[in-house]
Amino acid sequence: MNDFHRLSERQRNILLFMDKYLLENGFPPTIREIGAATGINSTSVVNYNLNKLVNSGYLERAEAKSRGLRLVREFPGGRRRRVQTGEEMCRVRHYGLIVAGRPINVPEDPFSGDVVEVPASYLGGIDPSEVYALTVNGDSMIDAMIQDGDVVILRKTNTVRNGDMVAVWLTDRNETTLKHFYDEGAKIRLQPANPTMPPIYVEAEYCQVEGKVLSVMRLLKQ
C-alpha cells in the first residue's frame, strides 16, 4: 500500500473521512460534506480529488447520484466495509425538530420543507410516502441509543402498542415530544429513556400520536 502515501494530503484526508462517515452512518457522504470536513471550499476541487482517487483505484462513483461514492480498496488507517450506494437511498421529507426532553411549543410552521436521503433498509419496506424524518433535540431518550442531533425515521400512524417509541402532539398544550408510549386507561404515560427524567402523564383525549419510530440515523458531528 505504498501508493497510499503518494496520494496528496487532501486525498488521504478524504479517504479517512469517508471511512469514518461510512462506519458511523452506513452510507456515503455528499461532495459538500466531504468539502466541509476536509477544509475544501470548492466543490470542483473536491470533484477533482475524488476523480484522482477513482483513477487510483480507491473509489468508485456514480456521477448522477449525490451519494454515489463507494470505497473499494483498503488503505492504512481505514476499516473497509460494505456500504449502501446512492442507488439504495430513499428521499424522505424532513419535518424539523422533535424534542426528546420536556415538551416544547409547536412553532407556527414546524415543517422545514427539507428532504433527507435515508438508506432504504431503514424504512423496513414501507413506502417512503408514508415516512418522514425529525431531528432530535434533547437527551431524554439516550438509553434508547438516541442522542441529541440524531435523525429519527417515523411512519405516519396513530395506531401504536405499549412500549413503542412515538412522536406525540399534546393538543391541549400545543406541544410535541418523543417518548415511549404506554396507554394506562384514562391517562397516557410518556416514558423517557433516561433514569434522571420523570414520565409525563397526559389525558388520553389530549395525546395524539403523530408517528412511530422505525429507525435512527446518526449524523457525523463536526
Distances (CA, A) of 133 to 36, 74, 119, 211: 23, 33, 12, 10
In the block, which residue shows the cell 496520494?
Answer: 7
Instruction: Give me the catalytic one of 140, 212, 215, 221.
Output: 140
The helix/strand/coil state of 162 is: coil
Active-site residue, 140 included: yes
The helix/strand/coil state of 152 is: strand
The helix/strand/coil state of 205 is: helix
Q: Residue 147 corresponds to which cell in the numbers above?
A: 442522542
CA distance 90 to 219: 16
Phi then psi for residue 65, to 5 deg, are -110, 135
Q: Which residues of 21-39 are buried (b: 16+ CB within 10 A; e: fewer)?
A: bbeebbbbbbbebbbebbe
Instruction: Give me the catalytic one of 8, 129, 179, 215.
Output: 179
In the block, which residue shows the cell 406541544?
Answer: 175
The helix/strand/coil state of 18 is: helix
Q: Residue 60 corresponds to which cell in the numbers above?
A: 468508485
Catalytic residues: 140, 179
